[in-house]
Chains A and B, each alone.
Chain A
Amino acid sequence: EAQVTQNPRYLITVTGKKLTVTCSQNMNHEYMSWYRQDPGLGLRQIYYSMNVEVTDKGDVPEGYKVSRKEKRNFPLILESPSPNQTSLYFCASSPFGGDYGYTFGSGTRLTVV
């Protein structure tokens, strides 16, 4: 089944403790991206990648890192999480971005205390 898989689905952590949210797609898509969703603010892009080893900032990149060493994986790294990063996170992929539709993962609910 074609899908975007995120792990974990739920995570509670403490301020400052580094964490990684994994994202993997099995559709050989070139483009991958991370979004966060917050009440009243909607979905906002954190980072995106147009290809392996090519990443760029979205609208809200502060406090996040990403890497794209392989086409299928695009992990989101929070090196020193803070409570304002408590949110629902989504990974998405698309064949090339732009002209094609996007497939989203099931989401990761992160709580930073």
Chain B
Amino acid sequence: DTAVSQTPKYLVTQMGNDKSIKCEQNLGHDTMYWYKQDSKKFLKIMFSYNNKELIINETVPNRFSPKSPDKAHLNLHINSLELGDSAVYFCASSQDGAGWEEQYFGPGTRLTVT
């Protein structure tokens, strides 16, 4: 069973479009995250949710809107896509969001904006 899954794995779209990436975890964790990994492999947190409540919201453009329908799911919707949004987006989860906990990562969604 996949612990943290993301769909789609690849997403190619044109500038100006709106797209969503879905994430699900079956670990029973309370906290979920979205990370962005750029072309130089730099990994930066975007958002975190604990039990459907937004905890971390980094300086991310308003075009990015996370939604957590329940604690097992955290989706990422992106409006008006731009070239600079091209990256690999990783979803992750941890048990309670405590600093010492391991985060479990999904396989990533490679977004290409043309």
**Chains A and B come from one and the same complex:** no
